[in-house]
Amino acid sequence: MLPQLLIQISLTGLPENLPPPGRIMSVLFFMLIWLLSSMLHLLGRYQRSKEHNAQLKVEKSNAELSWLKAQINPHFLFNSLNSIYSLALTQSRHTADAVVKLSDIMRYVTQEAHEDWVPLEKELAYITNYVELQQLRCNEKLLLRFEKHGDAAPFKIAPLLLISFIENAFKYGVSNHHSSSIAIVIKIRERQLEMQVENKIVHSFSENGTATGINNTKQRLQLQYPGRHEINTNCLRGYYQVNLKLFL
């Protein structure tokens, strides 16, 4: 029942006359329960894949599981819920849009991202929802530049392939106490995707753990795009930069 409700919300949006904040939080609570249940399902799927799937499927499941583990935690999910709740309290016109973005993210990861290949348009829509929801919870000290150029319609991509680099920028590049800046530029031209991600370094890796998601993504690139990708990362004058070229 809940998945159908979330899909309906993502398609039609919420009514203009929003329910009281208490009811908003009830809906968000059930969304959280559904998402946690999906995580348990993915854990079971991962264990089964280790026994009988080829290396490619194992690595893909590793990446999906790492992303899901990273996102289903207080730092992302609860901050998003708190941000939405604050919007509801002030009767902000952005409340409905924020709920739709969160439900779209949940639906994509739990229902669509298990395919080997997905339409590039859907992957970019998911990334857009993620970035805009992160922007919602960040303070005014963050200077964010997010651009997409080119026609994604003809192409497909391995799902959840780009998100680790973007997630990493928000994880290590956003601070409540210092000015922060993140730039994300995605270009599509002549069957080639170019992505540049740059963030001001305000947290070190030692403070927040290792870049497991990025390492998994690099392994997936070797398996799914052998000879069809170029990736360079570097730290320069206090900024961390990722440059990725992907031949579609």
Structure tokens at 176: 């409540």
Structure tokens at 27: 């809906």
pLDDT one-digit tens code per residue, 167-176 = 889 888 887 7
pLDDT one-digit tens code per residue, 121-150 = 999 999 999 899 888 777 677 899 999 999
Q: Which amino acid is at 117?
A: W
Q: Where are the domains of the chain?
A: 1-114, 130-248
| Mean per-residue pLDDT over the chain, rounded | 79
Q: Which of 62, 67, 66 is nearest to 49 (CA)?
A: 62
Residues 6+ apart with CB under 8 A from 125: 104, 108
CA distance 120 to 151: 9
User: What's the confidence (pLDDT) of residue 61?
Assistant: 65
130-248: CATH topology is Heat Shock Protein 90 (3.30.565)
CA distance 49 to 59: 10
